[in-house]
Structure 1
Amino acid sequence: DIAIIGGGIIGICVAAYLAEAGRNVTIFDRTGICEETSSGNAAALAFSDVLPLAHKGMIRHLPKWLADPLGPLSIPPAYLPKLLPWLIRFWRAGRSDRYEASLAAQAGMMRLAEAEWAGLMARSGTENMLRE
């Protein structure tokens, strides 16, 4: 009675939790389970990687990143006017006061995610597949 669009790690985890709660779940994915984004991460989960992407030193890299079509922030120039409000919010999020709040929030989410992941592995009997 519930359709999940996307068979990556998020879709699979949501489907597992819903199924545990007694729901009938169908996963739809255009290529197959874990064959797109989730296939490229080699099943690596970085629970300790909590640093926010927005930080105060990032703005100085922006021109170089935008000029590089293969860089970490490749945006077609014609799209920049539409994206400008988001870029300004992202830049503001890197201010010191907001950075600390983001860091605390990210760390909290990762602690929760790690505990939930461990529980999911225990309930599915897959703990023996974990390598640290």
Structure 2
Amino acid sequence: MNSDATLDIAIIGGGIIGICIAAYLAEAGRNVTIFDRTGICEETSSGNAAALAFSDVLPLAQKGMIRHLPKWLADPLGPLSIPPAYLPKLLPWLIRFWRAGRNDRYEASLGAQAGMMRLAEAEWAGLMARSGTTNMLREDGSLELYESEAEFKASLPG
């Protein structure tokens, strides 16, 4: 603790979450230092291409996703690459994930995620206004590409 009784706080990770936490703490009068192994917004946050996708709220668990499981598990670069020996430990989670994709739970999950995104967007806008960085935000929309018409049609419910 320094002499004026304010806490010095260290934030580990300079991605979007670490930066936002640091900004809120600084607004509250805290002395904040950010530590990041590669640089501010260099890793996961840069993978989002500086996009804020408040409209992307589709829950990961969806009806019919479980049928893709064998293909995903067989693909070492797929979205669910798990060593076969770990599957027995993962089975309880997979069952909960499968149940979460039921229509009634999917709708509830969609509503919850949409609510969180509205809150996040409002908080983000307030933080930008207070920091004088609103002029740095461009609301240009997005471009989505599909490899086939079937892939495009499969995306329409979203």
- Are 2:60 and 1:53 aligned? yes
Q: CA deviation at 1:91?
A: 1.3
| Off by >4 Å, runs of 4+ in structure 1 | none
Q: Look up the match of 2:44.
A: 37
Equivalent residue of 2:33, what SS? strand
Aligned residues: 131
Offset, 1:32: 1.6
Q: Taking CA–CA contacts closer than 8 Å with sequence separation of 6 or more, which of the two structures ends up with the larger relative contact order?
A: 1
How far residue 107 of structure 1 moved from its aligned partner, in angstroms, is 0.2
CA distance in 2, matches of 1:26, 1:82: 39
C-alpha RMSD over aligned residues: 1.1
Q: CA deviation at 1:95?
A: 1.1
TM-fit CA distance, 1:78: 2.0
Give the alignment's TM-score, normalised by structure 2. 0.79
1:20 aligned to 2:27? yes
- The offset of 1:121, in angstroms, is 0.9
SS in 2 for 1:35: coil
State the identity %.
Answer: 96
Q: Whole-Å Cα distance in 2 between the matches of residues 41 and 102 of structure 1?
A: 23
How far apart are 1:19 and its partner, in Å? 0.9
Q: Tell me the TM-score normalised to structure 1 length.
A: 0.93
User: What is the rounded CA distance, in whole Å, between the counterparts of 1:95 and 1:112 in structure 2?
Assistant: 26
* CA displacement 1:66-95 (0-9 Å, x = unmatched): 111111111122222222222221111111
Whose Rg is larger? 2
Mapped partners of 1:121, 1:106: distance in 2:
22
Mapped to 1, the partners of 2:73 and 2:30 lie a distance apart of 45
Greater displacement, 76-85 / 42-51:
76-85
For 1:80 and 1:70, the matched residues in 2 are separated by 17
SS in 2 for 1:16: helix
Structure-2 separation of matches of 1:100 and 1:69: 31
1:8 aligns with 2:15: yes
For the residues of structure 2 that align with 1:7 and 1:34, how far apart are their CA atoms? 6
